[in-house]
């Protein structure tokens, strides 16, 4: 069983930056693709970014491309989401998720393990 714990959320002004972290325990972190998703009030959970088990490939939602960067440190069992140039529309609860497979995926149905989420609020 994989446990995921997100941290790093908070309140920031538009144009600012935050770095989210997701610490994994249990299972084999280094062999799993990881992803970040977000859910704003009244909206469905949506894909943000994903990364392969060995960081060979990463993909982003169009809405965050060029502003967000996903990375991972397999020695620390941690995945990160660096968020720059934040906008009010980035306000959401951000969730870290892990797959059973190695390859990055945009499909949330392929993610088997989820964290509890961390709140990000961007003020205008």
Query: Mean pLDDT in each 10-residue stretch from start to end of the chain (124 residues)?
Result: 96 98 93 97 96 97 98 97 98 97 94 97 97
Collapse the DSSP code of 89 into the 3-class scheme (helix H, G, I; strand E, B; otherwise coil) and give the result. helix
Quote the pLDDT of residue 1: 85
Quote the pLDDT of residue 27: 83
Angle in degrees, CA 41, 106, 74, rounded to 5: 100
Quote the pLDDT of residue 100: 92
List, in order, residues 6 or more apart from 1 with CB less than 8 Å away: 26, 27, 113
Quote the pLDDT of residue 33: 97
Quote the pLDDT of residue 5: 97
Strands 111-114 and 92-99 turn out to be antiparallel
Quote the pLDDT of residue 9: 97
């Amino acid at each position: 069983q994989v446990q995921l714990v997100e941290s790093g959320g908070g309140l920031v002004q538009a144009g600012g930056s935050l770095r989210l972290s997701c610490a994994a325990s249990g299972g084999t972190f280094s062999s799993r693709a990881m992803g970040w998703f977000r859910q704003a009030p009244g909206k469905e959970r949506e894909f943000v970014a994903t990364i392969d088990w060995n960081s060979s490939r990463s993909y982003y939602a169009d809405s965050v491309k060029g502003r967000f960067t996903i990375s991972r440190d397999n020695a620390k069992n941690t995945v990160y989401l660096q968020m720059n140039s934040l906008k009010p529309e980035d306000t959401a609860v951000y969730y870290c998720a892990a797959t059973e497979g190695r390859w990055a995926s945009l499909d949330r149905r392929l993610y088997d393990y989820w964290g509890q989420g961390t709140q990000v609020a961007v003020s205008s």
